[in-house]
């Protein structure tokens, strides 16, 4: 795995750890109820992404095939889980990364942004990396490349805006899943306040028609005054 790929993984894992601890601190009861579809697609994508550099370390073509296959598998997973909070952000981030890599043939890396993060040009590991290259005058949509410096104390790195969206989506997914959803109380907005009564913490509506019907069916006692004709 290249230095750029490691940086993206570190960012996502860091955000996921913070979001996971935040969810657990607030109860985290919803995490056990989180249901994701087609998780096997992510497992296969991770295996392809990790296994390709280990089995074929010097093959740029194999790296490209692995990148395309990983993006396809991850995209199918996100489509199947598009209603899950955070999934649209992850999909948007991956799409931005695919766009900048496609138009440039590699991920452009800003050397100046790397300096702000505390990295030298040699520490970027761009030499021999077929999927990353230094950003220059001929770079297209360079603002989508690795231009965001992260001066982390244990591992400084530079990532892309797409990576930031992916990490934010993962964090949103974990935080939203950890929240306990309480059922909303159903209320009829058309019922007048005078036509309702409160028992405990719930409001029950008394239809005015039923009350009028009950009053008409009320028996007349012998002591009730009658209208004289």
Determine the pLDDT at residue 189.
44
pTM: 0.68
Q: What CA–CA distance (Å, rounded) separates 94 from 213?
A: 64
Determine the pLDDT at residue 182.
46
Q: What CA–CA distance (Å, rounded) separates 198 from 155?
A: 59
Per-residue confidence in pLDDT tens, the chain, 229 aa: 556 566 677 888 888 888 878 777 766 555 666 778 888 888 888 888 778 777 877 777 887 888 888 888 888 888 888 888 888 898 898 888 888 988 888 889 999 999 999 888 888 888 877 778 999 999 999 999 999 999 888 888 899 999 999 999 988 888 887 665 544 444 444 444 444 454 544 445 555 454 445 455 555 555 555 554 4
Q: What CA–CA distance (Å, rounded) separates 83 from 227?
A: 68
Determine the pLDDT at residue 209.
52
């Amino acid at each position: 795995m290249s230095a750029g790929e490691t940086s993206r993984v570190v960012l996502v894992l860091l955000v996921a750890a913070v979001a996971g601890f935040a969810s657990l601190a607030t109860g985290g009861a919803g995490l056990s109820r989180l249901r994701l579809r087609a998780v096997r697609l992510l497992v296969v994508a991770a295996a392809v992404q990790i296994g390709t550099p280990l089995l074929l370390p010097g093959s740029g073509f194999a790296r490209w095939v692995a990148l395309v296959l990983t993006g396809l598998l991850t995209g199918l997973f996100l489509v199947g889980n598009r209603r899950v909070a955070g999934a649209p952000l992850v999909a948007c981030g991956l799409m931005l990364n695919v766009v900048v890599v496609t138009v440039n043939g590699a991920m452009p890396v800003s050397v100046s942004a790397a300096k702000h993060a505390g990295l030298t040009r040699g520490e970027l590991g761009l030499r021999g990396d077929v999927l990353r290259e230094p950003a220059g005058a001929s770079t297209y949509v360079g603002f989508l490349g690795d231009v965001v410096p992260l001066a982390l104390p244990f591992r400084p790195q530079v990532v892309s805006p797409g990576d930031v969206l992916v990490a934010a989506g993962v964090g949103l997914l974990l935080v939203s899943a950890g929240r306990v959803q309480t059922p909303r109380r159903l209320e009829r907005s058309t019922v007048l306040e005078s036509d309702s009564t409160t028992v405990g913490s719930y409001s029950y509506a008394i239809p005015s028609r039923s009350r009028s019907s009950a009053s008409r069916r009320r028996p007349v006692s012998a002591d009730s005054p009658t209208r004289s004709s």
